Each structure stands twice: as C-alpha cells, then as structure tokens.
Amino acid sequence: MNRVFIAFGSNIGDRYETVSKAFELIEKNDMKIIKKSEIYETEPYGYKEQPPFINGVILVETELTCRETLERLLDIEKKLGRERIIRWGPRTIDLDIIFFNDDIYSEEDLKVPHPDMHNREFVLKPLCDIDPDYVHPIINKSVRELYAMLKEK
C-alpha cells in the first residue's frame, strides 16, 4: 500500500464545498483518506493579485502508482473546473503530490517530492498537523525541521 501526502488549495467559488467535493472524488478514485490537516486561509503564493486561498494536506493510502495518482488528481481538478491560465494563478482546486512513500521522481511532468514544498508555509504547516516527524527523502530533514527553518527566514 502506497502512502501519499497530497496538498490541496482553492481560492475561487465556494472553496470549502470544492475541497469537500475533491475529497469525495479522491475516495472514489481508489485513494483512501487516512488523515486530514486543519484547513488554513493563506495569502496567494507567487502571483499576488488574487483572492486568498484555503490550503491543507491529506494523507491517502492507495494501490495506484505515482503516475496513476497524478493522472487521477489532474482529472479531479479538471472535473472541478480547474483551468491553467496563469502560473500560480486563481483556481477552483489544486491537488499536488508532496510525497509518495519515500520515492523520488524527476520526470518532466512528475516531480516528487514536490520541488518547492520546503519553501511553502501553506504546505509545511498542514504537513506538521499530520506527520511532523516525516523525513524529506532528499533534504533529510523532518517536516517539523523544514517548517522551523522556513519560519526563521
């Protein structure tokens, strides 16, 4: 069984309803949600001229491969109205694989662990809710340590 940490975010429409629908679709796509972080309202990252986000992280278990998980998440985003117009722009839903077991993928369209997660408070803080002792397989620091380092910057 694969353990996958998935970050979620939304800043268009009924954000909480969209996240709830995303969770339902995740469960219907062969991923069992094991843990959910708190949901945090956050300022936009990158492109600032947009409404605030709600963000969090879930832990799922699945028999799917990393590639299959990515494909299912992209399909869920599309079903929930995600349009990719502006990088880091507004979105109905964003679903990103943060960790897939301790595996490392470096393909053009599949990078795991997420290459910028250690710079994002809106990912690290909810990860700390779920598993603060999880160790990043490349950086070799726990989520708690990465969050503390980011807060020091």
| Whether 84 is catalytic | no
**Distance between the two ends of the chain, CA-based, in angstroms?**
37
**Contact 64/2 with Cβ under 8 angstroms?**
yes
Dist. CA 54–CA 63, nearest whole Å? 28
CA 40 to chain centre: 13
Dist. CA 60–CA 153, nearest whole Å? 31
Catalytic residue, candidates 15, 72, 94, 131: 94
**Contact 128/41 with Cβ under 8 angstroms?**
no
| Whether 91 is catalytic | yes
Catalytic residue, candidates 72, 91, 120, 131: 91
* Placement of tokens 């989520």 in the chain: 143
Catalytic residue, candidates 82, 102, 116, 131: 82
| Whether 82 is catalytic | yes
Q: Which has the closest alpha carbon to 89: 45, 42, 123?
A: 45
SS3 content of the chain, % helix, strand, coil (to 5): 35, 30, 40
Catalytic residue, candidates 15, 72, 96, 120: 96
Residues noted as catalytic: 82, 91, 94, 96
